[in-house]
């Protein structure tokens, strides 16, 4: 399955090794339509809000992920808790070309409290600290 990541699951960020070990990197992509992606919450987490058409087209990375890996990813992304979603969206390669359908993790707007940024096109912030390191 294809997975689009835009925040702490990207290479070099806090959750990459825990969530995407063994996944195949397919390249740099961006969302086909705008979404509000912000830094929010007590851990300064990147959150893409499930409001298509608002915000900016968000840059990230696309991976091919084995289906059984989603149990680990869902736990890291709090899927199953209110306001945490796994959604299919269209993403477009950096080099241009056709869009691809991919899974992305999103949040409900009410989880983005406190808000630490305006909508961003790319997550580069290094303030996020995983819960197990606090």
What are the tens digits of pLDDT across the range 36-73?
Answer: 999 999 889 999 999 999 999 999 999 999 999 999 99
Residue 130 located in a structural domain? no
Residue 50 located in a structural domain? yes
* 123 within 8 A of 39, measured Cβ to Cβ: yes
Residue 20 located in a structural domain? yes
Residue 134 located in a structural domain? no
Query: What pLDDT does residue 28 have?
Result: 97
Residue 131 located in a structural domain? no
Residue 129 reports pLDDT greater than 90: no
Active site residues: 77
Residue 85 located in a structural domain? yes
- Element (DSSP H or E) covering residue 20: helix 16-20
What is the number of domains present in the chain?
Answer: 1
Query: What pLDDT does residue 95 have?
Result: 87
- Return the half-sphere exposure (C-beta side, CA atoms, 13 A cut-off) of residue 122: 8
Structure tokens belonging to residue 105: 């993790």
Residue 80 located in a structural domain? yes
* 68 within 8 A of 47, measured Cβ to Cβ: no
Residue 132 located in a structural domain? no
Question: The domain that contains 49 carries what CATH number?
Answer: 3.10.490.10
């Amino acid at each position: 399955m294809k997975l689009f990541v835009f925040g702490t699951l990207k290479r070099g960020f806090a959750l990459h090794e825990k969530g995407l070990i063994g996944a195949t990197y397919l390249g740099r992509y961006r969302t086909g339509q705008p979404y509000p992606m912000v830094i929010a919450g007590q851990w300064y987490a990147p959150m893409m809000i499930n409001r298509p058409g608002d915000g900016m087209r968000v840059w990230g990375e696309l991976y091919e992920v084995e289906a059984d890996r989603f149990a680990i990813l869902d736990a890291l992304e709090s899927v199953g808790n209110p306001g945490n979603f796994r959604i299919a969206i269209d993403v477009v390669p950096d080099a241009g070309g056709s869009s691809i359908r991919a899974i992305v993790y999103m949040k409900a707007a009410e989880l983005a409290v406190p808000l630490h940024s305006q909508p961003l096109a790319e997550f580069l912030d290094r303030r996020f600290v995983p819960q197990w390191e606090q």
